[in-house]
Every structure is written in C-alpha cells, then in structure tokens.
Amino acid sequence: MDKLIAGFSNQLMKALDIAHNYQFKLAKNTHIDNVLIIGLGGSGIGGTIVQNYVFDKINVPVIVSKAYTLPRFTHKNTLVITCSYSGNTEETIYSLKDAIRLGCPIVTITSGGKIGDLSEEHGLDCIRIPAGFPPRSCLGYSMTQILNTLAHFELISNAFETEIQAAISLLDNEEEAIKAEALRIAQTIAHKMPVIYIENNMEGVAIRWRQQFNENGKMLAWHHVIPEMNHNELVGWRDIDTNKAVFFLRTQMDHERSKLRMELNKETIAQYTPHILEIYSKGNSYLENAFYLIYLGDWISWYLAIERNFDATEVKVIDALKSSLNEK
C-alpha cells in the first residue's frame, strides 16, 4: 500500500493521459439537465470530491448516489456517470441497468468486470483504467475521468487540468515533509478516536480521511462539516474524553465566517480533549489544496496501520461480506 500511496502524483499524470486519449461516443452537444454520479467506497469517493469541486462551477445539479436505485428525477437527459473500479460493485450494477432502461446518456469508469461487459453490450462510453489495485488506491484515475467527462459535455472548463498539473508538482515537492508530518500524527493518534472537521465545500476530503483511517488504519473515525456541525454536534461535546483526537482541516478556500467558527469551535472542544490538531493545506487552487490533504491523510492512514500492527491492504471483512451476499 505504501508504494501505491507514493505513486499518487504519477497516477494523476497517467490519469490525464487516459483522459486526453479517450474518444467519447456521446456528442459534446448532448442535452443534459442534470448529472448523477454513482459509486461506492474507494470507487465512489472521487464523485463526492468532484461534486464539491464543481459546486460553484456548473450550471446543472450534480447528485452523488450510493444506492441500488436511481433518484426519481432521473430521465433521458440525466447524464449518468458510474464509477466501479472492479466493475462488479453490486449497487452500481443495479443502478446502471436502470439507467440503461431509461435511455440516459451514460459514461462508465471501470477496469472491467460486469460493468465493462454491460458497457460493451450496450455500446456505452466506457473509460478503462488500469486493473489490479485496491479501489481506494485509484482515486486519481476515477476522479480525473469524471472531471474530463464533465468537460467533454462543456459543463465545466478544462481548468481542472491545470490544477491537477500544479497539484502533481506540489505533491512531488512536499512529499518528504508530508510523510514526516504523517508519521508524527499517526504516532500521536494511533490509539485514539479521530474526529475530522472541515468546511462543507471540502467534505469529500474529510470522508476520504475517514475511509482511509477505516480501511488502512483499521480504526473507527467520524467526520462532520462546518458550519453544519455548529447547529447540532457541537452540543454533543459535554464529557471530557482524552481518547478523542480532533482534526481541523483548513484551506485557503474556507469562508471567512467558517474560519472564525473553527477558532471558536477549537476553544470549545479544547475543554473536553487536549488532542486538537490543526492541519493547513497548501496550494493555490481547489484541487491543489484537496490533493495535498488527501495525500497527507493517505500517508497518515498507512502509518496508523504500522503503529497499530495491521496490514493496511487487508480488507477481509469486506470480502467476507461480499461472499455472503453472493450466496444469497
């Protein structure tokens, strides 16, 4: 897993090459009323981050679905983008079949599997990404293809490419510093419960941290967003609990009022746990900041596995669940 994490910037470069070389079957001028991105787990997190990224850039609604069924609004002008690394994600296959029946414009992103077969059978746009890796290690591939798909239909500009190129340089330049910080943090929180707070426009990044702590670090974690958590969860901080380690993930894109809220929240929560960590992202664009935090979080999760004596790659409980489902 450490080699896969270390190869993230290289993966982003390869992902851009795949995007540049892919020839869409669907026309650029396909009429699109809304966008539905379908994906779960490591295959789906890219859709959530893209949804955050395009919030102030796109003129049609973008919804992320992690369900077996499609939203009621789905119709023939809904662009459906499915992300399943293996191509065998049960929930995504159900949704894809429904989208095919509805005659939606569809783009699939996969390394193969049943979704690859369905795509060939129905003549769908299918962007193939390299096979043979854990889905959570292929965020760069899936996320870049989603962005390129939106750009193909002229729903967003190609500016994301410049941001990704800048992020690649940033991660390469900061790699050793990021790894050193990640190790220090992992040693601090290895036997504590991580609580991750971030502004709402970057929620996908916090979800990524939580998921990586779960899968790589083999530990529970939770996240919430500011300002929403100020309307509910903040009240839940009542008991002193030194087992909690609270992260405030901060970026240049944070709203001025959110910055103030974080300072005030930090003062409140410090009454209940001494373990508060502020992490400041780097970069000059949304994707630079997002990828910086993602890269840091991925390395923390790797070092957590080491500190806790676990195999970061192993996900036997998920494999067992899938086997049980297949038997039913």
Please name each of the domains of the chain with its CATH number: 2-157 (3.40.50.10490), 175-307 (3.40.50.10490)
Omega of the bond leading into 227 within 30 degrees of 0 (cis): yes
Task: Read off the amino acid at residue 2.
Answer: D
Which sequence positions are flagged as catalytic?
Answer: 215, 231, 322
Rounded Cα–Cα distance for residues 214 and 224 (Å)? 16
Rounded Cα–Cα distance for residues 174 and 279 (Å)? 14
Where is 279: in which H helix or E strand?
strand 276-280
Vertex 249: Cα angle to 245 and 255 (nearest 5): 140
User: 132 forms bridges with which residues in the sheet?
Assistant: none
Tokens read off for 263? 């300072």
Residue 79: closest CA among 49, 52, 53, 47: 47
Q: Give the tens place of pLDDT for each residue, 83-124.
A: 999 999 999 999 999 999 999 999 999 999 999 999 999 999
Average pLDDT of 158-175? 98
Task: State if pTM tops 0.75.
Answer: yes
Kindly calculate the radius of gyration of the chain based on its CA atoms and give it in whole angstroms: 20
Length of the chain: 328
- pLDDT at position 15 is 96
> What does DSSP assign to residue 10?
H
Residue 3, pLDDT > 90, answer no
SS3 content of the chain, % helix, strand, coil (to 5): 55, 15, 30
Q: Give the tens place of pLDDT for each residue, 40-63.
A: 998 999 999 999 999 999 999 999
Q: How large a percentage of the chain has pLDDT more than 70?
A: 100
Residue 143, pLDDT > 80, answer yes
Q: Give the tens place of pLDDT for each residue, 252-273.
A: 999 999 999 999 999 999 999 9
Residue 215 vs residues 40, 67, 74, 256, 291: alpha-carbon distances, Å: 14, 21, 32, 34, 19
